[in-house]
Structure 1
Amino acid sequence: MRHLVFFACLLGLLAAGPLRAQSGAADTLRPAARPAAAGPLAAFDAERRRFDQRGLAALGSWAAGNLLVSGVATGQTDGSAHYFHQMNIGWGAINLALAASGYAAARRAARAPTAGPTGRAGAVRGQLRTENIYLFNAGLDVAYVATGLFLLEKSHNPAADNPNRWRGYGQSLLLQGGFLLLFDGAQYAAHHRHGQALYPLLSRVRLGPGAVAVVLPLR
């Protein structure tokens, strides 16, 4: 029982960050207002939602795989492997809930009636909010990996209580944190490339040896 309480507390502390950050990402899928008529900004906003939906589908698939594989393996293993799969189940449940709620929010936003134009400024704010959320998540992912390394190191301490537990939890954190770091990095890169269309002036900045140039079109 003491081990289960420890597991629940550890998972709750580690999940507090992604719950806040990923719920913020879902908010970007529900803009307060979207262009009333089809146009470049409306198409841009729709494409941004498609990026997020594809990402949430990937996160949900990863979470479901964790629940399936570790759900079976946790009852068939012992030692550090048992704790590894135990932690994976907790992460899978949280990630699946986040992915499902975010995907549902995206579908509702796509079906909701438009509420008037937001303009380029609103689109830029939404784009920056999305990029910043994924950057924040990536920072949390690095913290998960660092915590996993700490737990692995702790498992080598001869005085550690139940080193198998520390080793299994540490290995799980390395796996989950590593995946989420790749996921958030890929999502940020995709959104950042997509967002360049909103910054025509910045897209014309050219860097050279000891110089910065701005390329302006003649027509």
Structure 2
Amino acid sequence: MRKYLCLLLFMLLSVAASAQTNTLATFNLRQNEIMRIGMIVLGSWALLNIIIGSFKLMKATRNKRFFFQMNIYWNIVNMIIASVALYSLLTQTPATQNLTESIIQHDWYKKILYLNIGLDVAYLFIGIWLQERSKLSPKIEQLKGWGQSIVLQGFFLLVLDIVLATLLEGQAAILYNLIP
């Protein structure tokens, strides 16, 4: 009888450990999916801005010329960031990560996103400052166009980073409930 009780206890513990592993794998896959979709959105935004900006730049005059010029430059950087991040996410095997690795990666993603949110707010202020500065500068059109572009790009990135951070924060409870 004692052997059967020990066997039953072992089986229950195995099922509980298996459920935790399945929950962790599901969490890791979901987190990877959130970040992958975020990088696809960023890359699509960048590609769209580069294509539209390239066509509009040929016909644009005055401050719009500088607006589209800055959009192209800015989104080349966005495209590089999205491509590198997407490559990294696609080459990972999130289902095989253990709890410690999952916690470290989750915290790292959140730190990066919160840092980016701070930078996005700074971009908004810099864009607004450039537009105000244009009123007192001989480079009125250039500063105004660049300022408008930076405000647009900063606003988009702010919204994207807030959405990604919110989605990851919503997943955090699942991860932290797995900590013994």
Q: TM-score, normalised by structure 2?
A: 0.82
Preserved CA contact (<8 Å) 2:124 2:150: yes
Distance 2:95 2:101 in 1: 17
1:41 aligns with 2:24: yes
State which of 47, 54, 61 in structure 1 corresponds to 2:37: 54
Higher relative contact order (CA 8 A, sep 6+): 2
- Equivalent positions of 1:144-183 (< 5 A) are 144-157=123-136, 160-183=137-160
> What does the per-residue CA deviation read over 1:83-102, in whole Å, with 9 as the maximum and x for residues that have no partner?
00000000111111111121
Identify the residue that residue 136 of structure 1 maps to in structure 2: 115
Structural mapping, 1:1-219, within 5 Å: 39-110=22-93, 114=96, 118-119=98-99, 121-157=100-136, 160-200=137-177
The 2-side partners of 1:193 and 1:106 are apart by 20
Rounded Cα–Cα distance in structure 2 between residues aligned with 1:145 and 1:105: 29
- Tell whether the 8 Å contact from 2:25 to 2:95 is kept in structure 1 after alignment: no
Structure having the higher helix fraction is 2
Aligned sequence identity (%)? 28
Alignment-mate amino acid for residue 146 of structure 1: F
How much does 1:105 deviate? 1.4
Offset from partner CA, 1:2-39 (integer Å, 9 cap, x none): xxxxxxxxxxxxxxxxxxxxxxxxxxxxxxxxxxx962
Query: How many residues are matched?
Result: 159
Amino acid at match of 1:48: Q
By how many angstroms is 1:198 displaced?
Answer: 2.0
Q: Deviations over 1:122-151 (max 9, x none)?
A: 322221221111011000000100000110
What is the alpha-carbon root mean square deviation over aligned residues? 2.0
Per the TM alignment, residue 196 of structure 1 is displaced from its structure 2 partner at its CA by: 1.4
Task: Output the CA distance in 1 between the equivalents of 2:75 and 2:126.
Answer: 18
Q: Could you list the runs of 5+ residues in structure 2 that have no partner in the other structure?
A: 1-19
Query: Equivalents in 1 of 2:173, 2:124: separation in Å?
Result: 31
The unaligned stretches of length 5 or more in structure 1 are 1-36, 202-219
Give the Cα separation in 2 of the matches to 1:48 and 1:174: 29
User: Residue 187 and residue 150 in structure 1: after superposition, are their counterparts in 2 closer, same or farther (change >3 A)?
Assistant: same
Structure with greater Cα Rg: 2
